[in-house]
Chains A and B, each alone.
Chain A
Amino acid sequence: MAGFAPESSRIPEVQRVDARETDYLRDERSPNKFLVHRKVFTDQQVFETERRKVFDKCWIYVGHESEIPKPGDFVAREIAGRPVLFTRNKDQEVRVLLNSCSHRGAEVCRERRGNQKRFRCFYHSWAFSNDGDLINMPDEGGFPEGFRKEDHGLAKPEQVDSYRGFVFATFNPEQEPLEEYLSDAKYYLDLTADQASGEQGMVVTRGTHEYSMRSNWKLLAENSSDGYHAIPVHKTYLDVQRSRGDDIAGHTEKDWKESHAFDLGNGHTVTVKRAPWGRPVARWTPSMGEDTKKTVERSHQRLIEAHGEERAEMISNLDFNMLIFPNLVLNNIMAVIIRTFYPNQPGHMNVTAFSLAPGDEDEPARRVRNESFLSFLGPAGLATPDDNEALESCQRGYEARPGECWSDVSRGMDKADPANWDELQMRTFWRRWDTLMGEEA
């Protein structure tokens, strides 16, 4: 197998991983079984525990450096249930600040993006630098002796770091360094970052998809790399692509070629394959239209010039769906999507998704990309809304019988080399989640 296969794939899953039996999982051998208790999707106590033991412990994706290219640029968003300002100071350093005034807690910024040196809370006019330091406030002399402005900066995550432009934060002072945490996922982040041949690198394009699902967040972690659901759920997408000339069989093993599923360590997973759709970076297919063929071929040629034939081939043709534990999906499919999601109730999550593109992409190439992205992805795409419906339908099923039943996630468990339509990727996620939930807080 090529360099994209991690060490973990050398040993079959059931030999590599110990059996376990917990409140939430049954991971059994001889015979092999894998069951997830459905209370993990509905139980309020589980939800509160996972906020502490999963989201407050792990590295959590904040954003991409390209979203804030200049000093003073900022984006306001929510990570791990907290409102933050993702910004860049005058020395070009990335900062993540809690968007809540140290004085009484109001938001210090109520715009969703912009460029400013200071954030001034409108409630009592306390002003903070984009390093989070308290600069001034009205009637400063009125505070008692011993009050020091340097003790009243904006709160920050314990650590912030980035890898190839992807910025993460953690609220856990003991969390291992980001690069170690990312483990074998780095290979695929590199493959993504290398899609850009120019100096600008990859950039998040303007236009964010902010939507929601009335389902538990872990169902989307499963769904984002579930090759087994693709044909029944996304039949209309596949039919439309077929009617535009693409070679689509509507059959799992025929449509997903050279398919594997990998455990990347620390709960991160990837499924790889050669999928039947076109890719703007560049694999042209008839559904993209004859008039785009030259544009896509030009993109491919630029990859060859930047990286050589072999790596360009890998970048162009290796479709992959990656989950960086717990809630970052990076799918390199008919376009590159960054998707992140966070629960605000056991049965509800907010989803935010971005398109990642080469920064020097011209208008015709961007047109190909946006059309390819929206042909499937997004809350108004031809496929994603049906994932919403499937996950909401599961959730309605669980809530009708709260605390009952187990879900089967055993597909492909006996195989030495499972495919993307098997479920190794989900079992890997579940084992990590279960391990963290079992640790002392």
Chain B
Amino acid sequence: MSFRYPEDQQVSSEKFTRSEVEDFLYYEAQLLDAWKLEEWHDLFAEDGHYIVPSTDNPDGDLKMDLALIDDDMEGIRGRVQRLMSTYAHIENPRSRTRRMISNVRLWDHEDGELGVRCSVVVHRSRVPGTTSYVADVHYRLRKQDDSFKIAFKHAMLDHHTLRDVGGVLSIVL
């Protein structure tokens, strides 16, 4: 499945405006920053998929390689169930997070889905300190009623390893 932004072309969508897509992305960020994870889960389509590749293998084979996160909807449900529990010890007390989204580009896939690419910085603050994740995020969105559903979310971290960003990735990007 192709989801990547064509690096050498200037693209835009003929069907959607950047501002309606940004409204959706900001809403997702708002839910995540507020730890409204069940509501975040509901943004996904039934066949939704959320993936964060391993830091040494950003362009790897989605079907065969080991990622950091490789969640189908069952996986997303489990992740949300866990993170909402007070027994998710690394997130108890919960990190305070602040997502910054910019450089939003959109284009139309042939199957009618909307391709989106954006740059995301997630600042994560907890008692031992604040660290920041920097990611190149791709989506495939589907129009549904007056909003979108996430069919695919792929967050590629820029970091060489997780070692200088707090050691782990215990939150949703």
Contact = CB atoms under 8 A, between A and B. Distances in A.
Nearest to A373: B66
A67 B141 CA distance: 36
B64 A212 contact: no
A389 B56 CA distance: 24
Given A240-B81, A388-B90, A210 B64 contact: no
A363 B63 contact: yes
Given A206-B57, A207-B57, A367-B63, A214 B78 contact: no
A213 B74 CA distance: 29
Given A207-B60, A289-B74, A379 B68 contact: yes
A181 interface: no
Interface string B17-58: 000000000000000000000000000000000001111110
Contact of A380 (B72, B89, B128, B170): B170
Interface stretch (A8-16, A162-170, A230-238, A414-422): A230-238
Contacts, number: 127
A183 interface: no
B40 to A, nearest CB: 16
A237 B52 CA distance: 19
Interface of B: 52-57, 60-61, 63-70, 72, 74-75, 78-79, 81-82, 85, 87-90, 128, 160-163, 167-170
B66 A209 contact: yes
Interface residues of A, number: 43
Nearest to B171: A380
Contacts of A363: 63-64
A386 B167 contact: no
B163 A205 contact: no
Interface string A361-389: 00100110011011100111010111011
A278 to B, nearest CB: 13
Contact of B65 (A112, A205, A212): A205
Given A236-B87, A385-B90, A350 B52 contact: no
A20 B87 CA distance: 39
Contact of A240 (B61, B78, B161): B78
Interface string A291-304: 00000000000000
Nearest to B84: A236
